Amino acid sequence: MADEKRFQVFVSSTYTDLAAERAAVIQAILRMDHLPAGMEMFPSADESQWELIEQVIDQSDYYVVVVAGRYGSIIDAEGISYTEKEYDYAVKSGIPVLGFVHKNPGQILASNTDLDKTAQELLDKFRDKVKSKPVNFFESPAELGGLVVTSLMQAIKKKPGIGWVRGDKAMTVEQEREIVSLREQIATLREQKAEAESALVEDVADLAQGDQRVTISVLSQSSISGRDDVEFVAVATTWDEIFADVGPLLVDESPEHEAEKRLATHLYHRASDEEKQTLDSVYYGKIGMPYDDWDIVKTQFRALGLIDKGQKKRPIQDKNKYLSLTDRGDRHLTQLLAVKSGVDPGKVDDSENDDSEY
């Protein structure tokens, strides 16, 4: 579908003096399989045609203006030319404008320049206006055609327009209805998911949570092959203290083993000096957790509606299990970690330096 899209490009300039340049621009646009539009479409350039010109500019995806040696016919009531009026309208409408200015105005044939001083002054001001935005400079019709192709390709890449498609390539009424139906199904599924999550966390009053204490085992096992040295200690903490440490990992989803590792580290730092010595006594010990204890914590947070399985799509070779915060979990984590008024997070309280409290 993207390859079938054609963009409409409005070409604005004076006419008789730039006939060859306009032809080069139009041919460049046609070679790119896009649709040129401009004064050739209008029987005359007068006020009665301006509404039609506005309409065509509004329907265009890009606007090209070419400035050389003539200013153009001046609109008596406004004191500016149609080319400048078209330019001002395109800029005001937010259409991407591609400006092309003659590199050496002094070398333009006298027959293709304004001899009237007022027109020359207006042209100089208009040229400066166009040059106030990024422009390309040209000397010949052939060079101008090449610059238009390059500039238009860059504009389409940076700011893709709406474009046009053939009637037989556009969506049919049935396809549009199918898309609407699919959107309605997605909305229904989201509502059902929200209801299921709500039911899951509807009544948690009887569940252990918050600042209630919980005792969990942490282990240290030798990482040396062939050794089965292992030590266990039971460490007291609270559900909120666990969640405050593990939760940040799950903000953007995390492998389950990383969350388990973070919990083991939390427990180690909460252990007393004597318990740490027991864990540290294992030769090349590696901190971990018994599977049962980890499952208890994970299941509890799911029951509380704070975490859920990860939902992001991943490569098929990724065999990890992922966990993520629910909306409820994200709100609860924010409440736990947000700095309260009057609290300096960088200041350490001496009363908290006792390792037995971690």
The model's confidence at residue 202, banded by pLDDT at 50, 70 and 90, is: low
pLDDT at 138 over 90: yes
Name the pairing type of β-strands 8-12 and 35-38: parallel
Q: What is the pTM of this model?
A: 0.49
The answer to whether residue 22 sits within a structural domain is: yes
Q: State residue 2's pLDDT score.
A: 44
How many CB atoms sit inside 10 A of residue 263's CB?
A: 24
The answer to whether residue 235 sits within a structural domain is: yes
The answer to whether residue 165 sits within a structural domain is: no
Same domain, 333 and 265: yes
Contact 6, 35 (CB under 8 A): yes
- Which helix or strand (DSSP H or E) is residue 34 part of? none
pLDDT in tens, 26-45: 999 999 999 999 876 665 55
Same domain, 185 and 232: no
Same domain, 241 and 150: no
The answer to whether residue 205 sits within a structural domain is: no
- Among the listed residues 265, 264, 257, the one whose alpha carbon sits nearest the alpha carbon of residue 323: 257
Domain count, the chain: 3
Same domain, 57 and 8: yes
Based on its alpha-carbon atoms, the radius of gyration of the chain, rounded to whole angstroms, reads 35
CATH classification of the domain holding 127:
3.40.50.10140
pLDDT in tens, 54-108: 889 999 999 999 999 999 888 877 889 989 999 999 999 999 999 999 998 888 8
Strand partners, 101: 67, 137
What does the block give as tokens for 174? 């049935």
pLDDT at 357 over 50: no
Lowest-pLDDT range, 62-76, 155-169, 267-281? 155-169
Same domain, 233 and 101: no
The answer to whether residue 43 sits within a structural domain is: yes
Give the mean model confidence (pLDDT) for residues 191-216: 78
Same domain, 218 and 323: yes
Same domain, 146 and 179: no
pLDDT in tens, 308-343: 998 888 888 888 999 999 988 999 999 999 988 888
Q: State residue 111's pLDDT score.
A: 84
Same domain, 353 and 240: yes
Structural domain of 274:
213-357
Q: State residue 358's pLDDT score.
A: 35
Lowest-pLDDT range, 116-120, 121-125, 178-182, 277-281? 178-182
The DSSP string of 282-326 is STTEEEE--HHHHHHHHHHHHHTTSEEE------TT----EEEE-
The answer to whether residue 7 sits within a structural domain is: yes
The answer to whether residue 78 sits within a structural domain is: yes
The model's confidence at residue 151, banded by pLDDT at 50, 70 and 90, is: very high
The answer to whether residue 167 sits within a structural domain is: no
Same domain, 152 and 243: no
Lowest-pLDDT range, 65-74, 168-177, 269-278, 291-300? 168-177
Strand partners, 175: none
